[in-house]
Amino acid sequence: MRRRHKPPAGARPGTLVIPADALPPRITVMDYTPAKVRESQVTDPKALRPFAGEGTMTWIDVQGFGDEALLRRIAEIFHIHPLAMADVVNAPQRPKYDAYESNHLLICQMAHASGEKVMDLEQVSIVVGKSYVITFQERHGDLFDPVRERIRTGGGPIRTMGPDYLAYALMDRVVDGYFPVVERLGEVLQRLEEEILDDQVEHTPAQLHEARRHLAALRRLVWSQRDALNAALRQDGTPFTPPVQVYLRDVYDHAVQVMDLVESYREIAMGLMDIHLSTVSNRMNEVMKVLTIMASLFVPLTFIAGVYGMNFEHMPELHFWWAYPAVWVIMGITAGGLILFFRRQGWIGSGRSRREGRRGAP
C-alpha cells in the first residue's frame, strides 16, 4: 500500500500536501505546429503564460512537486480548478476523468515492474485544454520519451492533430504499461504452479497471497482506468473529437484486455490454492499411512514376543523344541496378512510413479 498523503480532515478544499521528500519541479515545454517543433526547459512559470491562449499546440510536462508556489502559479495561469490541482498533487488518487470549466483532468496510474518490486505505481495527471496538454508526474523519469520522439520525427498524425490526440497518445502509453506487470505476475503464478505440482509447498500460501493481492490491486486500478476512459469518451462536452474517439476506443479495448488477463490469473491463483490445500492433505495422508503400516505391523508382533517373554512357571510351549521356529512362522504369517491387507487397501504402492502421474494433465 502506498502511503496516501492528504490534507487533515476539515481542511479547506484545494489544500495541497507536499511531502517532505518531494523532488524539485522540472518543466519541459514542447511547442509544435505541423511544420516545426520547439523544445525548451522552463524554470520561471511566467514563461508559460503565452501558451495558455489559443495558438500553437503545446505540451508542458511537470516532473516533481517540490515547489508549492510554482504549482499554484501554473494552476493560475492555465485556470486549473483548485480541486483539480489538489487531485494532481495529493497522490494517489483513483484513475478518473473530471470536466472543469476551462479544461479537463485525467488522472492515471502508471505501473512498472521494476527490479524487485512486482508493481511500482506512479500517478500521472493529464490536463487537457483548448491548445495545450499539461502532464504532472511525481518523479523525474522518461516514460513518455517514445511519444516525445514521435512528435520530434513527426511520424503519424500526432503533429497535425489537437491536444486530444496528444492526450490519447499519453494514455495509450500508460495502459500499455500494464501489460509487462501482468505478464510478470503470470510468470510468478507459473513458477508457483510448478512448485506446487512438485510438492515444494513450503512458502506457497504466502507467495500466492502476495500475488493475489497484487492482482486485486491491479484489477481495481484498471477497472477505474477503464471507467475513466469510458467517461472521457461518452460524457457531454468531452474534449475528444470523433476522429480521436476511434483511437481512444482502442485504448479502452487494451484496458479491457488487461482486465481479462488479470481475471484469468485471479482464477488460476484461486485454483492453485485449492491444489495446494489438496496437496497438503495428500501429504498428511501419506504420513499417516506410513505410521499406520509401521505401527500395525509391529505392534501385534511385539505382543506375541511379549507373551513368550512372560515368566510363568507353567508355560508348556516354552519347552518344545519346535516352539521358537513356530513363533517365527506365526509372526511371518501375521505380518504377511497385514501387508496383504494394506496392499488391497492401496496403501502400498510405488511413491514415485504417483508423483509423476500427478503432472499428466488432461
> Which residues in the 130-149 window bind its own copies by CB under 8 A?
144-147
- Given the complex with its own copies, which of 25 and 226 has the nearer CB atom? 226
- Given the complex with its own copies, which of 48 and 108 has the nearer CB atom? 108
Residues of span 281-310 touching its own copies by CB under 8 A: 281-292, 294-296, 298-303, 305-310
Give least dist CB 289 to its own copies, A: 6
User: Distance (Å, rounded) from C-alpha 177 to C-alpha 158?
Assistant: 20
Q: Quick one: which of 108, 158, 166, 167 contacts its own copies (CB under 8 A)?
A: 158
**Total residues found in the chain within this entry:** 362
By DSSP bridging, strand 104-112 and strand 120-128 are antiparallel
Give least dist CB 295 to its own copies, A: 6
- Given the complex with its own copies, which of 20 and 362 has the nearer CB atom? 362
Q: Is 101 helix (H, G, I), strand (E, B) or coil?
A: coil
111: Cβ contacts below 8 Å, ≥ 6 apart = 119, 120, 121, 177, 178, 181, 218, 221
User: Distance (Å, rounded) from C-alpha 244 to C-alpha 161?
Assistant: 9
User: Distance (Å, rounded) from C-alpha 47 to C-alpha 339?
Assistant: 92
Give least dist CB 5 to its own copies, A: 12
Give least dist CB 24 to its own copies, A: 26
Give me the residues paired with residue 38 across strands.
Answer: 31
User: One symbol per residue from 222 to 241: x for binding its own copies (CB under 8 A), - otherwise; what is it?
Assistant: --------------------
Residues of span 315-334 touching its own copies by CB under 8 A: 315, 317-321, 323-324, 327
Using CA atoms, how far residue 172 sits from 21, 96, 148, 228, in Å, is: 30, 15, 13, 13
Run of H or E residues at 26: strand 26-32
Return contacts of 183-190, CB within 8 angstroms, 24+ apart: 184/113, 184/118, 185/118, 185/119, 185/211, 185/214, 185/215, 185/218, 185/265, 186/261, 186/265, 188/118, 189/265, 189/268, 189/269, 189/272
Prior bond to 45 cis, omega within 30? no
Applying CB under 8 A, what is the total number of residues that bind its own copies?
127
Give least dist CB 239 to its own copies, A: 17
Give least dist CB 76 to its own copies, A: 16
Residues of span 191-220 touching its own copies by CB under 8 A: 191-192, 197, 199, 202-203, 205-207, 209-213, 216-217, 220
Stretch that binds its own copies, among 20-28, 53-61, 130-138, 243-251 (CB under 8 A): 243-251
Report the candidate in 157, 167, 169, 166 with the shortest Cα–Cα distance to residue 34: 157
Residue keyed to cell 517543433: 37
Please report whether residue 176 would count as binding its own copies according to CB under 8 A. yes
- Given the complex with its own copies, which of 49 and 287 has the nearer CB atom? 287
Give least dist CB 49 to its own copies, A: 25
- Given the complex with its own copies, which of 47 and 68 has the nearer CB atom? 68
- Given the complex with its own copies, which of 44 and 263 has the nearer CB atom? 263
Give least dist CB 176 to its own copies, A: 4
Residues of span 37-96 touching its own copies by CB under 8 A: 81, 83, 86-87, 93-94, 96
Residues of span 342-361 touching its own copies by CB under 8 A: 345-347, 351, 354, 357-361
Give least dist CB 225 to its own copies, A: 13
Run of H or E residues at 128: strand 120-128
Q: Return the number of other C-beta atoms located less than 10 Å from residue 149's C-beta.
A: 10
- Given the complex with its own copies, which of 70 and 255 has the nearer CB atom? 255
